[in-house]
Amino acid sequence: MTTKHTRESSEHANEAATKVPAVSGKEQAASEGYTMQTLQEGIAGRLAGLNSIEADIVTLVKNTVSDTLKTGGGAATQLTKVIHDVVEGAIGATEQVGTGLTMSTKSVAKGIVMGVHEVNGDVIGAGSETLRSVIHHAAAIGADVGLVAKRAMNGIIEGVSETGGNVGQAASRATEGAIEEAGRIGNMAVKTVKDVLIGIGDGVGEVLGKMLPHAPSHPAAQHHAASAPGKAMHS
């Protein structure tokens, strides 16, 4: 037989089981703040690690290219062979570990440009040959040619910019070489490469504004400096 006392005890137990502890607004805000801070610190740490890896690849490639060219001479045929060997080795390394092609491509391209500059070689030609080689080897392994070409072009632009070269000319020559190389693969590859690289060309002026010292204060000079590289890409 169920007594009044038993019913009251059961009701109290059910109420206690379903009651959610109250959390004040301050406690909730503090919890959310901790979560965001933890996330921010975690991402920052991983990005710092990626930046360190990319910088290491740039240095490794630059030293390899410059040392090889110093030993073998700076002839155009030697330069072409060195570039293709470096790109092939880099892509082979990413296949070996199964990842990292898109991340490493930019650093490899930048390292090649800086290594060629170190021995006073043809930086503009090196950028063009690098993009050709990247597209050729990426297509051979079935990689995303457009994405890899974009990363390589970004590396070329950074390398030429940091060594004081003509970024507009380098981007223009590299684009021409890339489209020619893509033509050997097929029409779809040409369209993909054009779409990706012409887009980069339009933004070269913005890239320069962030990476190089400010242009002269005269408005016309600023406009010319910002627009010239983009035009060079379409020529």
Averaged pLDDT, 199-215: 49
pLDDT of residue 86: 93
| Mean pLDDT value of segment 114-118 | 95
Q: Is the pLDDT of residue 99 over 90?
A: no
Q: 76 in a domain, yes or no?
A: yes
In a domain, 30, yes or no: no
**What's the whole-number mean pLDDT along residues 92-104?**
83
Kindly state whether residue 5 falls inside one of the protein's structural domains. no
Residues of the domain holding 152:
42-194
Rounded alpha-carbon distances, angstroms, from residue 122 to 38, 39, 136, 199, 233: 47, 45, 21, 25, 19
Classify residue 91: in a domain, yes or no: yes
Average pLDDT over residues 190-210: 65
pLDDT tens digits, residue range 144-155?
898 999 999 999
Which residues, 6 or more positions from 64, have their beta carbon under 8 angstroms from its beta carbon? 86, 111, 115
Q: Is the pTM of this model over 0.75?
A: no
Domain membership of residue 224 (yes or no) is: no
C-alpha atoms less than 13 angstroms from C-alpha of 52 in its C-beta half-sphere: 6
Q: Report the distance separating Cα 182 and Cα 118, nearest Å.
A: 29
Give pLDDT, residue 229.
42
Calculate the CA dihedral of residues 155, 161, 165, 169 and round it to 10 degrees.
Answer: 60
Give the model's confidence band at 224: pLDDT under 50 very low, under 70 low, under 90 confident, else very high.
very low
In the chain, what is the straight-line distance between the N-terminal and C-terminal CA atoms, in Å? 96
**Residue 16 lies inside a defined structural domain of this protein:** no
pLDDT band, residue 37 (cuts 50/70/90): confident
* CA–CA dist 209, 191 (Å, integer): 28
pLDDT of residue 100: 80
Q: How many CA atoms lie within 13 A of 74 on its CB side?
A: 13
- 208 touches 166 (CB < 8 A): no
> Does residue 74 belong to any structural domain of this protein?
yes
| Per-residue confidence (pLDDT) for residue 43, from 0 to 100 | 77
- Over residues 22-48, the mean pLDDT reads 70
Question: Lowest-confidence range among 116-120, 174-178, 227-231?
Answer: 227-231
Is residue 225, in this structure, part of any structural domain at all? no
- Say yes or no to pLDDT of 178 above 80: yes
Query: CA nearest 59: which of 49, 51, 71, 70?
Result: 51
Please report, to the nearest 10 degrees, the dihedral formed by the alpha carbons of residues 128, 130, 135, 140 taken in order. 140
Mean pLDDT of 43-68: 87
User: How many domains in the chain?
Assistant: 1
pLDDT digits (tens, 9 = 90+) for 63-85: 999 999 988 766 778 889 999 99
